[in-house]
Amino acid sequence: MKRNLLFFIFSLLVSSTVMASDFFTDFPQHRYRIITATYTPADWPQSLKADLYLPTAVTGKPRPLVLLVHGGSWQRGNRGHMSRIARALAIAGYAAFSIDYRLAPQFRHPAQLEDMQQALRYLQEHAAEYGLDMQQTAAWGFSAGAHLVSLLAVQPPLDGQAPLRAVIAGGTPADLRIYPDSPAVKALLGARPAEAPALYAEASPLARVRPGLPAFFLYHGDKDDLVIPAQARNFAEALQASGVPVQLLWLKDYGHMRTALFLGKTLPAGLLFLQQQIPLQTP
């Protein structure tokens, strides 16, 4: 299993100048299957769906899981936006659960956090059915999705759930307090920082860093003018100061959208990080 994963990562590195959608011409769909499920209970404020990507190869052992959360300024986007990463994970041997979540401004924080927690609750309840190892769980998001998976990671785990083992976050707005006039952040939180400082701190992963968090892999374009590079640098320094394992990959001359669309560098790096934190078991 480890040799197969390393070969797959090498193939991504060889193709690092193309878009991630091009990686899958050599990995046909028979390598994975997709199960679409409604992961919210009947009384949830909004019915939400997710796509579970499972490797088709039989190992006889439960699969580690990666929760995938899309970006879109907390106001737009859908689970399909993470499909390229989900397919790469499934081909490599991980299960991937790409979710829809409630969008701002109709639904404000902590709705999105509660949706992610419910997704993990759903997977815990169906772990045996899907062959999942919920003790070996990671999360991956970009932009608003990176903020959300980071926010999930700094929460105490819910009763009966194991904490996340690893987080992969790209273009992360880790500190919402630096955006006093952002329409997107106001849509999420419903107020400006001066009006609700405690709320902004509560919703900022950087403000809630503490020892004992899962390992983080951060990636960020050094020319990102939407989520400034200082966000990644400050977040990494805060994690490191608390003794949390952290890696930071700078993408030279990448802006925010280029980082989102061109995954030739971040996919193999993210998979290597996952293999370090949550190794796949040999059949």
Measured in whole angstroms, the distance separating CA 163 from the mean position of its chain's CA atoms is 14
For residue 159, the model assigns a pLDDT of 85
Residue percentage of the chain with pLDDT more than 90: 85
pLDDT for position 104: 98
Is residue 193 situated within a structural domain? Answer: no
Instruction: Please name which of 142, 143, 149 lies closest in space to residue 116, comparing C-alpha atoms.
Output: 149
Establish if 217 belongs to a structural domain. no
Residue 189's Cβ-count burial label (10 Å; 0-12, 13-18, 19+) is buried
Domain carrying residue 267: 2-169+245-277
- Domain total of the chain: 1
In a domain, 199, yes or no: no
Residue 164 belongs to a domain = yes
Question: At residue 283, does pLDDT exceed 70?
Answer: no
Residue 50 near residue 126 (C-beta atoms within 8 A):
no
Domain assignment present for 106: yes
Distance, in Å, from the CA atom of 74 to the CA atom of 184, rounded to the nearest integer, reads 7
In a domain, 79, yes or no: yes
pLDDT in tens, 163-180: 999 999 999 999 999 999
Predicted pLDDT of residue 19: 41
Average pLDDT over residues 18-30: 50
Residue 105 in domain? yes
| Tens-digit pLDDT profile for residues 98-123 | 999 999 999 999 999 999 999 999 99
d(CA 238, CA 139): 19
Average pLDDT, integer, range 154-171: 94
How do beta strands 132-142 and 32-38 pair? Answer: unpaired
User: Per the structure block, which two tokens stand in for 41?
Assistant: 């209970």
27 has pLDDT over 70: no
- 34-50 mean pLDDT: 98
Instruction: Supply the pLDDT for residue 11.
Output: 46
pLDDT of residue 201: 98
Mean pLDDT computed over every residue of the chain: 91
**Distances from the Cα of 35 to the Cαs of 54, 97, 123, 125, in angstroms?**
8, 9, 12, 16
State mean pLDDT over 57-62.
87
Which of the four pLDDT bands, split at 50, 70 and 90, describes residue 281?
confident
Are 136 and 216 in contact by the 8 Å Cβ rule? The answer is no
In Å, what is the CA distance from 122 to each residue of 9, 166, 189, 238? 30, 19, 26, 32
Which of 262, 261, 282, 280 has the alpha carbon at shortest distance from 271? Answer: 280
DSSP the chain: -HHHHHHHHHHHHHTTTS-GGGGGGGS-GGGEEEEEEE-S-TTSSS--EEEEEEE-S--SSPEEEEEEE--STTTS--GGGGHHHHHHHHHHT-EEEEE--PPTTTS-TTHHHHHHHHHHHHHHHTHHHHTEEEEEEEEEEETHHHHHHHHHHTSPPPTT-PPPSEEEEES----GGG-TT-HHHHHHHSS-TTT-HHHHHHT-GGGG--TTPPEEEEEEETT-SSS-HHHHHHHHHHHHHTT--EEEEEETT--HHHHHH--TTHHHHHHHHHHHHSPPPP-
pLDDT 10s digits, 142-151: 999 999 999 9
User: In CATH, what number is assigned to the domain containing residue 76?
Assistant: 3.40.50.1820
